[in-house]
Amino acid sequence: MPAALATVVAAALAVTTITTAAASTAAPSPAAACTGYVGLTFDDGPSGNTTKLLDALRRSGLRATMFNTGQSAAANPSLVRAQVAAGMWVANHSYTHPRLAQLSQAQIDSEISRTQQAIAGAGGGTPKLFRPPYGETNATVRSVAARYGLTEILWQADSQDWNGASTDAIVQSAARLTNGQIILMHDGPANTLAAIPRIAQNLASRGLCAGTISPQTGRAVAP
């Protein structure tokens, strides 16, 4: 082989080797890093804390389902729009946060239907998911929710942030989540806000990503 040709071939091989090595060390895509999905949920918004919550979730690369009360959505439509703009999913958490299982069917219907209207009117779309306040439900509550095309969603992990849980305890609750499971958190507590970066780190270390909640199965799935 002539010397000039040999030099060209060697150079080409070197470029190929470098390109192959670079490709093999490239970071995996986010989708490839997700071996499962969990549902992060925040009840009782929107509120004066919602903006900080959305900022914390965005900075940590997390998405969540926001179970809004109708009265808060109606009073704070710009915050509902901010939830959607931040990539969150908006869901129904009743209008005034009563104990629905203690109400009449007509009262339950009013709580659910007015919330559907308030969220849609605020720019949050038409919810497909519903969470009864306090997790208290019965056949009548589920029947009324179903009439509005809503799937009732509870949880597998309770962060206890509503009960004054520490940031460490909230992080530990999220650390117990497995594929498809859902954690209950709330819009307001400062300890919940502080826990978000650590929750994100723990999920990533276990190959779990924050997903949406399927109306068909009630489980967390890929967005």
Question: Has 109 been annotated as catalytic?
Answer: no
**Active-site residue (options: 43, 44, 161, 187):** 43
Q: Which of 44, 161, 186, 187 is catalytic?
A: 186
Helix (H), strand (E) counts: the chain: 9, 10
186 catalytically annotated: yes
**What count of Cα atoms within 13 Å lies in the side-chain half-sphere of residue 126?**
5
Provide the annotated active-site residues: 43, 186
